[in-house]
Structure 1
C-alpha cells in the first residue's frame, strides 16, 4: 500500500549509509540490485528503523545471516517493528506531508516534540506524547516523567523503584528538556 502512495523502502534512502550497512555476501543473485538500490529521496524525517518499509535484518538472506546491519546495534530490535502494529509514525507523516493532506487547515496548532498536523487539522503526536500540541509526555505513577537538564549539565535519571523489576510489557517514558 505504501509503495502505491509513493514511499520507498527505508533501506533504499539516499542517506542510508549513515544508518545501516548492507552485508552483500549474504544476499543471493540479483536480489541486491533489485531490492537494495538507493533511491533519490528527500529524507525529511529521521531514518525510521520501525518503518513497515524497513526490511527485516535477514530479508533475502541466502544463508540465514543478516543482510542488513544497523550501525547503532542498540536499535536493531526495532527493525520493522511497525510491521506487526501497522504503519509507523514517520510512515504516516510521509504520506500526510507528501500528499499535503493538511494544506486545507486554517490556523492549525503549532505541534511540538515532533508532532505534525494531520488531515483533521489537529496534531498527530509521536508515541509517548499527547495533548493539543503534543506537549504532554504520557507517563504513569510507577515510572517515567519529565526531566529538565540545564545547558551544560549532566543528569543521571533513575526510574522510581529501580532496580526492582517492572511488570512485563511496562513502558516507561521520559521527556527530557534542555
Structure 2
C-alpha cells in the first residue's frame, strides 16, 4: 500500500465512524422525542378522562337541578319536565310556577293578603307579578327600585329564593308612593 492509499483508508474509516456516531445520536434523539410525546399523550389522556368525568357530573347536576326546578314551589306544580334548548337554556313556563289569579287586585290590601293567607312566589313568578301590577303597567313605578327594595325580603324554601305575594305587592305600592316624579 502506498502512503496515499493508507491515508485514504484511514479517512474512510474516520468518515464511516463519524457517520455511525451521527446516526446513533440521531436515533437516540428520536427515541427521546418519542418518549416525550408518549408521556405527553398519556398526560393528555389522563386529563381528558378527568374532564369527561367532570362534564358527566355537571350534566347530572344540571338534570337534577332541572328536575327540582320544574317541581314547583306550591307542591305538585310540575306536570312535565321542561327540556332545554340546543344552547342549554331551559324553556320554562313562568305561569306554571304558581297557580295565582293575577287579575284579582282587590285581594291585596295595605294590611296584607285577604284572608290572612299569603302565597310564596318563585323569582320568575315574582317578576310576572311586578310586570302585571297596574302601577308598573302605567309606568309610575321604577322597577329597579322595586327590585332593590325586594332584595332583602327573599327567603329560601329549600329550592331557591321565594317572595311573599303580599310583600311584593306592598313593595310595589311603596315604591309608587316614594317616586315623586313620573318615569320618562
- TM-score relative to the length of structure 2: 0.18
Structure with greater proportional helix content: 2
Structure with greater proportional strand content: 1
| Higher CA-based Rg | 2
Which structure carries more relative contact order (alpha carbon 8 Å, separation 6+)?
2
